[in-house]
């Protein structure tokens, strides 16, 4: 009977993690370049065997690296990535990777993301657009041109999903070296949308919620059976 409670509890932990992740995905269905997460049962089960169950949250789970739909904006500082991969930025926690290409210029001319993270130049440092530049362009390989002169190059990289850990809505931390596979192609004047299908997400949310509630009822049933057995076996003979 104890085994039954353990299995039901492990399943409930997995569903709780999936519920959190699914809700987080839905909340970011309109966030540009957001990539959803998914939790595998084996991952949640491993956490259920440890004291770290509280660590299962919306940051947990494998990143879905499927690209989102690209929309052309015509804005010279908007860039989308065609194919799997990311460009690097400098964040407070160190180097991070993103596909959120709504770029901007800081007062000092540095190229940044919409959240203010400096875009990393390949090999290190920031990419700075000289004052007085009238035209900024991006090549497919990631070179940044100011009035036709190269002033930097996006640091593009590709990673396996298992190497990535979420750090906020659109930033990812990478573990290990890039895979060495061809990086994505840069498309200027376009933005990528979220890869979350909100209709499918809502359906998944309902399914997970129902499964979670069923497992909780199962745990309660096992607990009642154990209490009854303890009373019967422990009573006067």
> Which tokens is 48 given?
């259920």
pLDDT class for 54, splitting at 50, 70, 90? very low
Give 109's DSSP letter: S
Residue 205: per-residue pLDDT:
76
Residue identified by tokens 């001319």 is 109
Domain co-membership, 103 together with 113: yes
Residue bearing the bigger pLDDT, 117 or 55: 117
Q: What pLDDT, in 10s, does the model give residues 152-170?
A: 999 999 999 989 999 988 9
Split into its structural domains, the chain has a count of 2
Domain co-membership, 60 together with 78: no
- pLDDT reading at 50 higher than 50: no
CA distance 91 to 68: 23
Residue 53: per-residue pLDDT:
36
Residues 65-83, buried b or exposed e (16+ Cβ, 10 A)?
bebbebeeeeeebbbbbee
Domain co-membership, 179 together with 74: yes
Q: Which residues pair with 112 in a beta bridge?
A: 104, 118
Residue 113: per-residue pLDDT:
97
Nearest to 115 by CA among 142, 96, 134: 96
Q: Are the beta carbons of 39 and 64 closer than 8 angstroms?
A: no
Domain co-membership, 156 together with 100: yes
Residue 41: per-residue pLDDT:
53
Average pLDDT over residues 139-164: 96
Domain co-membership, 143 together with 205: no
pLDDT class for 232, splitting at 50, 70, 90? low
pLDDT class for 231, splitting at 50, 70, 90? low
Residue 39: per-residue pLDDT:
67
Nearest to 78 by CA among 137, 158, 147: 137
| Owning domain of residue 147 | 70-192
pLDDT class for 30, splitting at 50, 70, 90? confident
Residue 229: per-residue pLDDT:
65
Domain co-membership, 188 together with 114: yes
pLDDT class for 51, splitting at 50, 70, 90? very low
Domain co-membership, 59 together with 97: no
Domain co-membership, 84 together with 146: yes
Share of the chain above pLDDT 70, in %: 80
Residue 155: half-sphere exposure toward Cβ, Cα within 13 Å: 19
- pLDDT reading at 27 higher than 50: yes
Domain co-membership, 85 together with 110: yes
Q: What mean pLDDT is reported for the chain? A: 84
Domain co-membership, 101 together with 35: no
Domain co-membership, 150 together with 231: no
Domain co-membership, 167 together with 200: no
Residue 43: per-residue pLDDT:
54
- pLDDT reading at 95 higher than 90: yes
Q: Are the beta carbons of 182 and 53 closer than 8 angstroms?
A: no
């Amino acid at each position: 009977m104890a085994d039954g409670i353990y299995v039901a509890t492990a399943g409930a932990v997995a569903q709780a993690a999936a519920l959190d992740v699914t809700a987080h995905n839905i909340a970011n269905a309109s966030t540009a370049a957001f990539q959803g997460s998914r939790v595998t049962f084996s991952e949640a089960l491993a956490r259920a065997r440890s004291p770290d169950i509280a660590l299962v949250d919306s940051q947990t789970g494998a990143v879905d690296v499927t690209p989102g739909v690209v929309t052309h904006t015509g804005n010279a500082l908007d860039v989308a990535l065609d194919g799997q991969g990311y460009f690097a930025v400098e964040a407070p926690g160190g180097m991070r990777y993103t596909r959120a290409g709504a770029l901007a210029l800081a007062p000092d001319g540095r190229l940044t993301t919409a959240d203010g993270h400096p875009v990393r130049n390949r090999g290190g440092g920031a990419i700075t657009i000289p004052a007085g530049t009238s035209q900024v362009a991006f090549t497919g390989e990631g070179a940044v041109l100011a009035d036709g002169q190269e002033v930097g190059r996006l640091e593009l990289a590709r990673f396996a999903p298992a190497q990535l850990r979420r750090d906020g809505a659109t930033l990812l931390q990478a573990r290990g070296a890039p895979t060495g596979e061809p990086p994505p192609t840069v498309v200027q004047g376009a933005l990528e949308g979220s890869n979350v299908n909100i209709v499918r997400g809502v359906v998944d949310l309902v399914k997970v919620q129902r499964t979670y509630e069923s497992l909780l009822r199962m745990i309660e049933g096992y607990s009642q059976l154990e209490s009854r057995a303890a009373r019967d076996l422990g009573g006067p003979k």
